[in-house]
Amino acid sequence: MYSNGYIFRYAGIMVVLVAAVLSAAAMFLKPMQERNDAVDKMQSILSAAGFEGVDAKNAIELFNKNVTNMIVIDPDGNVVNDFTGDSKENSKAFKLNLKEQLYNKSMSRPFELSIYVVNKNGESVYIIPLRGVGLWGPIWGNIALKSDYRTVVGVTFGHKSETPGLGAEIETPIFEEQFPGKTIFDENGNFVSIGVIKGGVANQPETQQSHVVDAISGGTITSNGVSAMLKNVLESYEPFFKKQG
């Protein structure tokens, strides 16, 4: 009763109509979504620095008040771009796409990285944005270092689609609270990053204990992803830390 021609016409028109509706919706809603992403980024940076009670409403205000500098560096540790007075949201450091930069790094092409300097109770805290891969999709976060560029003040993690209850636990306080006080360099000044390990931190050699945290049971691949992300991103900052320190 329906000819093949009708079926093809029907499917064709349907597909074009649906595409038009979806593109229109995406275009119309994009500014609001980008705004939300930016606010979320600010919240994450501020929480890593140890600010409490940051929500979507006060994030912008707190960010503008407490972020004192936003630096872009090259892999040799040279400062390429300092924050210069204009809107913090539009600064080069805030707009830098870490995913692209890390891709450039993996392809051995030149790349740039950003650092946020946040004033927390009169002390400068350095926030480094992180990005890596988990089990199902990207994971990301921020790690805050003291002005010695060694000691961790705090971290926040996020993920796109890790398994709820297992890998997704990386964004819970229980996991994140393990990081403050850990160090990313050993006593001799060698870069060691922070490892997410099985078997319990207490069972590690004493010299190792300040460079490891407990992994999540059942979330092995996500945990390994966090380890790899920390190492991959932080090692690119080593020249910068050495130059500053």
Partner 1 sequence: MSEVKQEKEPLFSAKNRKLLTNPLNLNNPITVQVLGICSALAVTAKMKPAFVMALSVIVVTAAANLIVSLLRNGIPPRIRIIVQLVVVATLVILVDQVLKAFVYDVSKQLSVFVGLIITNCIIMGRLEAFAMSNKPWPSVLDGIGNGLGYGIILMAVAFMRELFGSGTIWGLHVIPKSFYEMGYQNNGFMILPPMALILVGIIIWIQRSRNPQLVEE
Q: Write the single-letter amino acid at 188.
A: N
Cβ nearer to partner 1, comparing 39 with 145: 39
Cβ nearer to partner 1, comparing 1 with 107: 1
Query: In the complex, what is the shortest distance from the CB of residue 222 to partner 1, in angstroms, rounded to a whole number?
Result: 14
Cβ nearer to partner 1, comparing 7 with 80: 7
Query: In the complex, what is the shortest distance from the CB of residue 28 to partner 1, in angstroms, rounded to a whole number?
Result: 9
CA distance 209 to 238: 21
Cβ nearer to partner 1, comparing 56 with 80: 56
What is the b/e burial string over 13-30, where b = at least 16 CB atoms within 10 angstroms of the residue's CB?
eeeeeeeeeeeeeeeeee
Cβ nearer to partner 1, comparing 33 with 209: 33
Query: In the complex, what is the shortest distance from the CB of residue 158 to partner 1, in angstroms, rounded to a whole number?
Result: 8
Q: What are the phi and psi torsion angles at 105 (to 5°)?
A: -60, -45
Query: In the complex, what is the shortest distance from the CB of residue 14 to partner 1, in angstroms, rounded to a whole number?
Result: 6
Alpha helix segments (H runs only) across 110-215: 173-176
DSSP 8-state code for residue 180: T
Cβ nearer to partner 1, comparing 117 with 168: 168
Q: Which residues bind partner 1 (CB under 8 A)?
A: 2, 6-7, 10-11, 14-15, 18, 21-22, 25-26, 29, 32-33, 36, 39-40, 56, 160-161, 164-165
Query: In the complex, what is the shortest distance from the CB of residue 56 to partner 1, in angstroms, rounded to a whole number?
Result: 7
Query: In the complex, what is the shortest distance from the CB of residue 203 to partner 1, in angstroms, rounded to a whole number?
Result: 24
Q: How far is CA 3 from the centre of its chain?
A: 54
| CA quadruple 231, 64, 158, 51: dihedral, nearest 10 | 90
Query: In the complex, what is the shortest distance from the CB of residue 230 to partner 1, in angstroms, rounded to a whole number?
Result: 22
CA distance 219 to 106: 25
Q: Residue 10: CA atoms inside 13 Å, Cβ hemisphere, count?
A: 6
Q: Write the single-letter amino acid at 45.
A: I
Helix (H, G, I), strand (E, B) or coil at 190: coil
Cβ nearer to partner 1, comparing 50 with 138: 138
Cα 136–Cα 43–Cα 178 angle in degrees, nearest 5: 65
CA distance 216 to 227: 12
